[in-house]
Structure 1
């Protein structure tokens, strides 16, 4: 009897255990399928102003996409890591994203970390769009690498044409950051195009990263009295150079590339005179009255309580371009997405674009004029 009782207890325990497992499995919540897309940007460090605004733009797009059903019927899990504007940190962050299982990548903001990531992403055949990396050779890293912005050399050519055709200049001088691929890329293209257009370059002076005093270079330029001074660098240096140029009495009109975006924020309003009536190439204008632009500007202002920079607009477009490519491919398989990007025709906040043979966008350029610290629309230069 005792043996029979033990046997019955054992059977009961087995049945209970089995039943318990079935109940647990049935009660376990079904894990939601997501599409993981990664991004890096300098969220801290000296160029964080670019990274934060770029990330805000892409996050806004991803939130809108998810509210409207996601991609391929799945929500996007958008993972952003801090690259600190450093190439080594950027590659480490990208590798962590790969470990997380991303199927596509958006980033980085500056050119150097973008190039460093592109060289690694090419080995993975990871679909990649850099929203704002303008250095020419980024997309040459691999057929999987695309960009939403125009390149440094393209900006240099546009600036020369704008100076000749819009400003009617005869002479130009240039002050170049010899440590910057961005600055050198714009400079070389400007010089070549200026020569072809008959603009006399009367002076060229250089400096290095970290320099704060540019008076020696500007004093050499002063007696040449150029119609325009080209300053192809980022906003921090531009703020210093323009202020010091006015201090020594230089009267030239200042022009530059998209790295200028942010210069007004850097200067105190009392110093706006230094950049008054300056021009720079950019990717869109807040004054553009198209519905697409104004809807973006409204949503961004409501979310972040400030005006969206061109970095935000480009990153917003890059996010939607990646969504469009995945949907066109009908899958997240890497080569299919890359192929879809290659043939993409996209109408975004920063204009209509297609990709050329180097995966660079064919698109128009907006030229902005600074008036009372505001970036006002001046003209559109169509892509040729």
Structure 2
């Protein structure tokens, strides 16, 4: 019996030494094997972070898509030069929305297939709603610099935007109209659905305040057609004009207004802070004003890269800021193993963006839409 215990003890000691020896042998294995493990880890670390970008590369907002691509490429280059996301480069995957819901749906499926960390985009109303719902269903954060549809923020917690809803903006414009004396309002909107939704929101807000809407319609696209619309405004004594329209249409309208006898306030819900925009000298023009990145610096950087335009839309400026803050969020998400959408509502940098744009980081809604008058030089004298 005693011999048996000693035998068991000897066997146990032998097993222990064999285990220790095996471990030491594994640790001291040839360096090329350890190098293979390290190389594999480095390969994982070098896998790029894909960010999807849904922009109109064709269709009615192709010009905005072109601007956004130039600015997002610039921002991505700067992010990667600064170290990327935990040493991984950010790579943008562009798809064309065409400002069309069916095209956007196909494009979003293409983006989801490449497993992006997040998606930036959504310029037109219908495409934004379709894209946001697909992103929410796939669990991918979707951040829009321009989505104004009221339903947008109701889609889910993966959806963010950097502008007020059409209802909020309509309310803000109606408040401005209510402060004027004997307001007789008019609205001319572009034919696209986002312009029409803004016009409807403004009309509804006027009705609540019992402010008469004396003229409404689709803005003309020619100087002759707009001239006829100005005459209608004059005959109806309109003095507050809501103008959700594209840049070219709005400029034609303001040029025609400047040469008319009509004195009115004009609110441009789609053209905040446009550089090189000519304002009518006999008109008080209102814009929605959000704090944006320094456009002069961004334009200078783009000019150095061969960019020929002297202005950018505010949607484009916001896209630059979104990409930069998204990189911050992805970096912290990687470190803390949190979902990017969760990080958006936690990190200080994103909170800073939310404060700057007056956005509730939990819902993506702009807390308060406000408009400010643009002082035209002729009026200031």
Q: Give, in whole Å, the separation in 2 of the partners of 1:208 and 1:73.
A: 50
Query: How do 1:169-318 and structure 2 match up within 5 A?
Result: 169-177=181-189, 179-194=191-206, 200-207=211-218, 213-214=225-226, 217-245=229-257, 249-259=261-271, 273=280, 277-284=284-291, 295-296=297-298, 298-303=300-305, 304=307, 306-318=310-322
Q: Give, in whole Å, the separation in 1 of the partners of 2:296 and 2:275.
A: 23
Q: Give, in whole Å, the separation in 2 of the partners of 1:240 and 1:91.
A: 34
Contact 2:199 2:244 in 1 (8 A): yes
Q: Give, in whole Å, the separation in 1 of the partners of 2:53 and 2:336.
A: 16
Which 10-residue stretch deviates more, 178-187 or 98-107? 178-187
In the superposition, the TM-score normalised over structure 2's length comes to 0.72
Q: Give, in whole Å, the separation in 1 of the partners of 2:301 and 2:354.
A: 12
Instruction: Tell me which protein shows more strand as a share of its residues.
Output: 1
Displacement after TM superposition at 1:80 (Å): 1.8
Query: How do 1:130-149 and structure 2 match up within 5 A?
Result: 130-149=144-163
2:130 equivalent to 1:112: no
Aligned residue number for residue 367 of structure 2: 362
Displacement after TM superposition at 1:128 (Å): 0.6
Q: Give, in whole Å, the separation in 1 of the partners of 2:132 and 2:292.
A: 29
Q: Give, in whole Å, the separation in 1 of the partners of 2:161 and 2:60.
A: 23
Q: Taking structure 1 as reference, are residues 207 and 90 closer, same or farther at Cα in structure 2, changes over 3 Å only?
A: same
SS in 1 for 2:58: coil
Count of paired positions: 337
Q: Taking structure 1 as reference, are residues 72 and 308 closer, same or farther at Cα in structure 2, changes over 3 Å only?
A: same
Contact 1:227 1:252 in 2 (8 A): yes
Which 10-residue stretch deviates more, 348-357 or 115-124? 348-357
2:340 equivalent to 1:329: no
Question: Whose radius of gyration is greater, 1 or 2?
Answer: 2
Contact 2:162 2:357 in 1 (8 A): no
Q: Give, in whole Å, the separation in 2 of the partners of 1:169 and 1:263.
A: 30
Which 10-residue stretch deviates more, 186-195 or 147-156? 186-195
Aligned residue number for residue 97 of structure 1: 111
Q: Taking structure 1 as reference, are residues 139 and 164 closer, same or farther at Cα in structure 2, changes over 3 Å only?
A: same
Displacement after TM superposition at 1:76 (Å): 0.6
Q: Give, in whole Å, the separation in 2 of the partners of 1:332 and 1:134.
A: 32
Contact 2:244 2:268 in 1 (8 A): yes
Aligned residue number for residue 381 of structure 1: none
Unmatched 5+ stretches in structure 2: 1-32
Q: Taking structure 1 as reference, are residues 145 and 349 closer, same or farther at Cα in structure 2, changes over 3 Å only?
A: closer
Q: Give, in whole Å, the separation in 1 of the partners of 2:222 and 2:152.
A: 26
Aligned residue number for residue 86 of structure 2: 72
Unmatched 5+ stretches in structure 1: 1-21, 287-291, 374-384
Q: Give, in whole Å, the separation in 2 of the partners of 1:358 and 1:223.
A: 44
Q: Superposition RMSD on alpha carbons, in Å? A: 3.9
Residue 88 (structure 1) aligned to one of 102, 110, 115: 102
Displacement after TM superposition at 1:314 (Å): 1.0
SS in 2 for 1:233: coil
